[in-house]
Homo-oligomer: A and B are copies of this chain.
């Protein structure tokens, strides 16, 4: 099971075509709002049938790289570089994207029986254990957040401190070690004030305002994967997301 391609594994002809077109769009062969070749033209050029062409363009449209106008053509979306911002991201992917160097201090990592509330949210049987990970998140080497994760793992599936220190990204480990792929998440954000303990860890004053981010993550089949609580320093973090309908 070799990789050889990260974003668009060539598993099918339409994915190969989509990757090819994506490359050209990113190389700015066409300007934003400029039309790409019509489906009939692509059909001739790449010698594939129109259904396949349309499948490839469907994919690009869903990814937000192009938009279609009936009777006019298919056009390159403006806003280069912002691609994928709507994607479900991990903390480290998120910071890298903004040009900030991510870092972390792992405070603890152990199997625990979570509170009833968390157990219910993770849709688990009473008495089951989850992996709890407590981390201090750094941005350019200064603390910006306190994170506590509760990860649903079978008996025998374990993640070590070394795994986390090497990769930095929990999502990358889940995918590589256990083939668990987070695909959807419900998030809430609200304002809270720092407790004395939190204040010390984040190098701020007690009662300083914090951004509390709670996230429940699901895999492909809507099974809960992880519940996370992150307390961000109000003065050093801004949450960014993209919505669509």
Contact = CB atoms under 8 A, between A and B. Distances in A.
Interface stretch (A42-50, A106-114, A186-194): A186-194
A238 B188 contact: yes
Classify the secondary structure of A's interface with B.
Answer: strand
Interface residues of A, number: 44
A88 B211 contact: no
Contacts of A30: none
A234 B67 contact: no
Contact of A193 (B79, B86, B187, B209): B209
A63 B191 CA distance: 31
Contacts of A192: 234
Given A191-B191, A191-B209, A193-B209, A242 B184 contact: yes
A222 B67 contact: yes
B242 A190 contact: no
10 contacts: A82-B186, A86-B244, A86-B245, A184-B245, A186-B242, A188-B238, A189-B241, A190-B239, A191-B211, A191-B235
Interface of A: 51, 62, 64, 67, 69, 75, 77-79, 82, 85-89, 182-193, 209-211, 220-222, 234-235, 237-245
